[in-house]
């Protein structure tokens, strides 16, 4: 069943949901990256919760006009208006009061969502319209998705993605350094509003699939996942889009292949699985890479201290140090240095004395700042400089192994 869902052979509705979720995931991942880099991830939470009153009011308006209230385009339009109102309220509170942004987010989120729940309760008591299932906008509902619904989601996601690509450069500059962007004459406030508008668009488009509560996860988790794999913003944007698209596609396939599994939560869980894999296995920023770096550092410290002990005729009692020296061919099992170990030990002791001269000489102040007990002095000084230091120390000259 899962293979059939992944190869789009599980039926018309499952194919529509999978393609729609994929495009939504790509646009959400790309858009959310700029929000994440701007350090305003919670804004998406406020925007998503602010959509609920708009959905309810749009439903009531559609019913009042003689419809059944379930027209997706009308509901999305209502949610967009409500989300934009919430965004403007939050922006006004931040700019014209002494409230911090997190307090403004909390106020807008709670008030708009509370108002939406009240309206949703009122709608459930109405005897008109097709109010059953309207609460699916909270967590998403893809059962019985129509071609028109899929086209609205696909077009909305594609347009949002296109707009992100058009204004990605100013958004990147504002995300990393808004002061520099303002100094260059960029309208930072307008760019911020455009960024929030794009987030709002993704939120509105994603209501049908993942719902207003979970869309924030699809906006932020792919961006955080991508950040583990690259230091370059353009690569992070690309990887976030890929991660979001794969999460949408695989999550929709898993949901379609098993009975009664909700699509939105499964998509979020798949996205979280990608995050966990990145957290542990990313080559530079992952937990495993950090552990390996620590082990390599620990090994260098033990070998360095062991060489200094050998150079001063001290006996090595630390088992790990002795084991590492033996493995490197620098000492025998009884702790006696090999010929190679003796040469390396003499070099290590000589380097320590060289560093003492460097750290005591104001002329080498910048070089002395690089001392960490492990760095080879040849990487920061020339041969002539090392020879001059050796003359000041006295004894054997030119130990540069």
pLDDT in tens, 85-105: 988 888 888 888 888 888 888
Which of the four pLDDT bands, split at 50, 70 and 90, describes residue 127? low
**When comparing pLDDT for 362 and 150, which is higher?**
362
Which of the four pLDDT bands, split at 50, 70 and 90, describes residue 223? very high
Neighbour tally for 180: CB within 10 Å: 12
pLDDT of 174 > 80? The answer is: yes
Q: How much is the average pLDDT of 303-322?
A: 88
Q: How much is the average pLDDT of 111-117?
A: 89
Cβ within 8 Å of residue 140, ≥6 positions away: 206, 207, 208, 209, 210, 211, 214, 262, 263, 264, 265
pLDDT (0 to 100) of residue 1: 65
3-state secondary structure the chain: CHHHHHCCCCCHHHHHHHHHHHHHHHHHHHHHHHHHHCCCHHHHHHHHHCHHHHHHHHHHHHHHCCCCCCCHHHHHHHHHHHHHHHHHHHHHHHHHCCCCHHHHHHHHHHHHHHHHHHHHHHHHCCCCCCCCCCCHHHHCCCCCCCHHHHHHHHHHHHHHHHHHHHCHHHHHHHHHCHHHHHHCCCCHHHHHHHHHHHHHHHHHHCCCCCHHHHHHHHHHHHHHHHHCCCCCHHHHHHHHHHHHHHHHHHHHHHHHHCCCCCHHHHHHHHHHHHHHHHHHHCCCCCHHHHHHHHHHHHHHHHHHHHHHHHHCCCCCCCHHHHHHHHHCCCECCCCCECHHHHHHHHHHHHHHHHHHHHHHCHHHHHHHCCCCCCCCHHHCCCHHHHHHHHHHHCCCCCCCC
pTM of structure:
0.79
**Angle between helices 287-311 and 319-327 in degrees, nearest 10:** 90
Which of the four pLDDT bands, split at 50, 70 and 90, describes residue 258? confident
The structure tokens 């997706």 sit at: 72
Lookup: tokens for 385: 């400089």
Q: How much is the average pLDDT of 128-141?
A: 61
- CA–CA dist 267, 245 (Å, integer): 10
Cβ within 8 Å of residue 39, ≥6 positions away: none
2-285: which CATH number, 1.10.3470.10, 1.10.287.130, 3.20.20.70, 3.30.200.20?
1.10.3470.10
Which of the four pLDDT bands, split at 50, 70 and 90, describes residue 229? very high
Q: How much is the average pLDDT of 341-361?
A: 89
- CA–CA dist 206, 267 (Å, integer): 12
pLDDT of 400 > 50? The answer is: no
Percent with pLDDT over 70 in the chain: 90
Q: How much is the average pLDDT of 172-182?
A: 87
Task: Answer for the pair 20, 154: CB distance below 8 angstroms, yes or no.
Answer: yes
Average pLDDT of the chain? 84
pLDDT of 205 > 50? The answer is: yes
Which of the four pLDDT bands, split at 50, 70 and 90, describes residue 159? confident
pLDDT (0 to 100) of residue 401: 45
**Tens digit of each residue's pLDDT (9 = 90 or more) over 33-65:** 988 888 887 788 888 888 888 888 888 888 888
Every domain range in the chain assigned CATH 1.10.3470.10: 2-285
**Tens digit of each residue's pLDDT (9 = 90 or more) over 283-305:** 888 999 999 999 999 999 999 99
Lookup: tokens for 104: 């403004």
pLDDT (0 to 100) of residue 281: 93
Lookup: tokens for 239: 């990887």
pLDDT (0 to 100) of residue 71: 76
Query: Closest by alpha carbon to 53, among 160, 150, 137?
Result: 137
Neighbour tally for 293: CB within 10 Å: 11
pLDDT (0 to 100) of residue 55: 86
Q: How much is the average pLDDT of 129-141?
A: 61
């Amino acid at each position: 069943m899962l293979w059939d869902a992944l190869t789009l052979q599980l039926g018309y509705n499952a194919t529509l949901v999978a393609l729609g979720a994929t495009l939504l995931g790509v646009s959400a991942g790309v858009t959310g990256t700029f929000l994440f880099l701007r350090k305003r991830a919670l804004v998406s939470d406020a925007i998503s919760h602010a959509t609920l009153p708009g959905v309810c009011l749009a439903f009531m308006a559609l019913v009042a006009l003689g419809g059944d209230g379930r027209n997706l385009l009308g509901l999305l339009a209502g949610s967009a208006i409500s989300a934009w109102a919430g965004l403007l309220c939050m922006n006004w509170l931040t700019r014209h009061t002494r409230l911090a942004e997190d307090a403004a987010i909390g106020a807008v989120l709670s008030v708009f969502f509370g108002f939406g729940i009240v309206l949703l309760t009122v709608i459930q008591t109405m005897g008109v319209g097709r109010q059953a299932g309207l609460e699916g906008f909270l967590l998403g509902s893809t059962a019985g998705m129509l071609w028109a619904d899929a086209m609205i989601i696909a077009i909305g996601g594609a347009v949002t993605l296109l707009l992100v690509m058009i204004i990605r450069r100013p958004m990147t500059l504002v995300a990393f350094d808004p002061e520099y962007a303002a100094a260059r004459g960029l309208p930072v406030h307008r760019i911020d509003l455009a960024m929030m508008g794009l987030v709002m668009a993704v939120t509105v488009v994603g209501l049908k699939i993942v719902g207003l509560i979970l869309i924030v996860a699809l906006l932020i988790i792919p961006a955080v996942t991508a950040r583990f794999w690259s230091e370059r913003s353009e690569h992070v944007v690309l990887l976030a889009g890929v991660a979001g698209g794969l999460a949408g596609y695989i999550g929709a396939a898993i949901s379609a292949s098993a009975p009664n599994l909700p699509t939105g939560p499964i998509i979020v869980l798949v996205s979280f699985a990608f995050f966990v894999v990145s957290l542990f296995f990313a080559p530079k920023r992952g937990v495993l890479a950090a552990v390996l770096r620590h082990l390599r550092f620990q090994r260098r410290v033990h070998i360095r201290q062991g060489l200094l002990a050998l150079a001063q005729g001290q006996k090595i009692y630390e088992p790990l140090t002795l084991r590492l020296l033996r493995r490197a061919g620098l000492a025998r099992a009884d702790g006696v240095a090999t010929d190679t170990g003796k040469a390396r030990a003499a070099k290590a002791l000589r380097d320590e004395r060289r560093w003492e001269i460097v750290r005591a000489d104001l002329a080498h102040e910048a070089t002395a700042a690089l001392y960490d007990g492990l760095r080879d002095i040849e990487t920061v000084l020339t041969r002539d400089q090392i020879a001059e230091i050796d003359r000041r120390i006295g004894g054997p000259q030119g130990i540069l192994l």
